[in-house]
Structure 1
Amino acid sequence: MILTITTVTYLAVLTRIVVNPLQNVFQKQLTQRMANPLFIMSTTYGVLAIVCLAFWPQLQFAGLPSAFWQTILATSLFAMFGNVFLVRAIGLGDLSVLGPINAYKAVVGMVFSIFLLHEIPGWWGLAGILLIITGSYVVLADRQSRTSSTQADYVPLWKRPEIKLRLAALVFSAIDGTFLKKSILLSTPTIAFFYWCLFGFIFSFIWIVIAMRATWWTQMSVVFSQKTMYLALCATAGISQLMSNIALANMPVGYALALFQLSALISVLFGYQFFNEQGILRKLIGAGIMVGGAVLITLLG
């Protein structure tokens, strides 16, 4: 039984590692085609919620503890902000840089899981996290990241808007991961997934009503013109999130978030393949160091 759970967990982690960067590719391509990040996420949430209702009639609507509703509302709110900021960052910056930056999510998630879930990491787990952070510095050491050839116009990487948005996104999503695990433990991965989608759609729809009253119809036309890509995004987002839920149900938040960073290698390769991003060798080396940290966590953490 334990072997089966472990196998399912690591298959979920592996699937998430592969699918999540592909989800980011679709998100970036949609932003390049004039889709608004908020509308992208709202549409994704809405479609996934409808799919859940259509194909999972056994979803539970009653008998869930009050603590579940508190945590799922919190995780949906944090996830919505995190995802909207993420899509906005992806639209502005390089996928091969923004993907590896996500390594810091493991650190934030581990900190919050210590206080909220009482998950205390071991020494090897901490060493793995530090190795992941070290690798991210290699990725971010981009000597070519200037907006102009003159020193006066040089914008440090950490001050660029896409980096700020990505850091904000990972903080929100790391907190989301901690609350999400509590929601999963109080229900099931599939029930938590459905309500994550449903409340995410409700929160994002309210945001659209407030902020996009004059432009929502234009965004609807983008949805119809790019329906194939939107469907591909919804499929990859749904698989990625459901696999995340399965992984979180069976392992500590900090370690799960750390293993998810293995997708950094794929993000670098996808950035080169789909968007012709440069500095791939250096970014691969940095991402490889991060992979070493994740392996250290897996074997000894």
Structure 2
Amino acid sequence: MLLIIITVTWLAVLVRIVANPLSNVFQKQLTQRSADPLFVIAATYGFLAMACLAVWPQLQFTGLSSEFWQSMVIVGVFAVVGNLFLVKALHIGDLSVLGPINAYKSVIGLIVGIFLLNEIPGLWGLAGVLLIVAGSYVVLGTKQQRKGFAWSVFKRPEVKLRLAALVFSAVDGAFLKKAIVLSTPTIAFFYWCLFGFGFTFIWICLTLRKQWQEQTKLLFSQKSLYLALFLTVGVTQGASNIALADMPVGYALALFQTSALVSVLFGYQFFNEGGILRKLIGAGIMVAGAVMITMFG
């Protein structure tokens, strides 16, 4: 039984590592075609919520604790804001840079996990997380910087947006883990979709009242790209929930960051982004940190 759990959990991690950068590709492609980031997020949440109701009619709507509902409200708010910052960052920045920056999420998740879930990391696990962050220094560097990194990179608007996104998503991950413990990965997934759609719909009514018709037409004209996004986001979040159910938040978020290698390759393949060798080396250092967490954390 333990072997089955381990197999399912690690399969979920591997699926998530590939699916998440792929969803970022579709998000970036849509924003390049004039799709509004907020509308993209709302459409994703709405489609996934309807898919849940169609596929899982046995979903639980009653008997859930007040602590679960409080956690899901926080998850909904933080996930929406985090995703909005992420899509905006992808619109103006390189996927091969913004993907690896996500390594900082593991540190935030580790800290939040300590205080919220009482998950205390081991020394090797902590060292692995620090190695992941160190790898991002190489990714953020440029040819003009001898040391490969400078604090000035944090002044770039796309980096600021990506850092803001990961702060919100790291806190969201900790509360999502709490909601999963109080229910199941499937129930938490459904309410992640439902609350996310509710909050983004209200936001759209307040800010996009003059653009929603134009954005809806774009959705139908780019329906294949939107569908690909819906599927990859759904797979990403479903795999995340399964992994979070059986792993500490900090370690799970750290392992997710091995998708940095995939992000760098996708940035080169789909958007012809440069500095591929340097970024792969930095992403490789991050993967080494994840391996350290896996083996010794």
Q: What's the TM-score bracket when you normalise by the shorter of the two chains?
A: over 0.9
- C-alpha separation in 2, matches of 1:54 and 1:144: 53
**How far 1:156 sits from its partner (Å)?**
3.5
**How far 1:202 sits from its partner (Å)?**
0.2
Q: 1:288 aligns with which of 266, 284, 287?
A: 284
- C-alpha separation in 1, matches of 2:133 and 2:156: 19
1:237 maps to 233
- C-alpha separation in 1, matches of 2:235 and 2:130: 29
Residue 73 of structure 2 is aligned to residue 85 of structure 1: no
1:220 maps to 216
Cα 1:225/1:66, change in 2 over 3 Å: same
- C-alpha separation in 2, matches of 1:92 and 1:207: 22
- C-alpha separation in 1, matches of 2:14 and 2:39: 29
Residue 209 of structure 2 is aligned to residue 206 of structure 1: no
Question: What letter corresponds to residue 2 of structure 1 in structure 2?
Answer: L
2:274 maps to 278
Q: Describe the superposition over 1:118-153 as per-residue Cα deviations: whole angstroms up to 9, x where unpaired.
A: 0000000010011001100000012369xxxxxxxx
Q: Give the CA RMSD over aligned residues.
A: 1.1
Question: What letter corresponds to residue 245 of structure 1 in structure 2?
Answer: N
Q: Describe the superposition over 1:196-254 as per-residue Cα deviations: whole angstroms up to 9, x where unpaired.
A: 00000000011111111111111111111101100000000000000000000000000
The TM-score with structure 2 as length reference comes to 0.97
Residue 193 of structure 2 is aligned to residue 194 of structure 1: no
Superposition pairs for residues 1-301 of structure 1, below 5 Å?
1-143=1-143, 156-301=152-297
Question: What letter corresponds to residue 229 of structure 1 in structure 2?
Answer: L
SS in 1 for 2:219: helix
Question: What letter corresponds to residue 211 of structure 2 in structure 1?
Answer: T
Question: What letter corresponds to residue 67 of structure 1 in structure 2?
Answer: E
- C-alpha separation in 1, matches of 2:156 and 2:256: 25
Identity of aligned residues (%): 70
- C-alpha separation in 1, matches of 2:179 and 2:73: 9
Question: What letter corresponds to residue 178 of structure 2 in structure 1?
Answer: K
- C-alpha separation in 2, matches of 1:142 and 1:104: 19
Question: What letter corresponds to residue 17 of structure 2 in structure 1?
Answer: I
- C-alpha separation in 2, matches of 1:75 and 1:183: 9
1:151 maps to none
The TM-score with structure 1 as length reference comes to 0.96
Deviating above 2 A after TM superposition, structure 1's stretches of 4 or more consecutive aligned residues are none
Q: Describe the superposition over 1:164-192 as per-residue Cα deviations: whole angstroms up to 9, x where unpaired.
A: 00000000000000000000000000000
Unaligned runs of 5+ in 1: 146-154
Q: Describe the superposition over 1:54-85 as per-residue Cα deviations: whole angstroms up to 9, x where unpaired.
A: 01011000111111100011011100000111
- C-alpha separation in 1, matches of 2:95 and 2:144: 16
SS in 2 for 1:58: coil
SS in 1 for 2:119: coil
**How far 1:162 sits from its partner (Å)?**
0.6
2:148 maps to none
SS in 2 for 1:60: coil
SS in 2 for 1:136: helix
- C-alpha separation in 2, matches of 1:156 and 1:211: 32
- C-alpha separation in 1, matches of 2:186 and 2:107: 26
Cα 1:144/1:39, change in 2 over 3 Å: farther
- C-alpha separation in 2, matches of 1:143 and 1:197: 42
Cα 1:144/1:33, change in 2 over 3 Å: farther
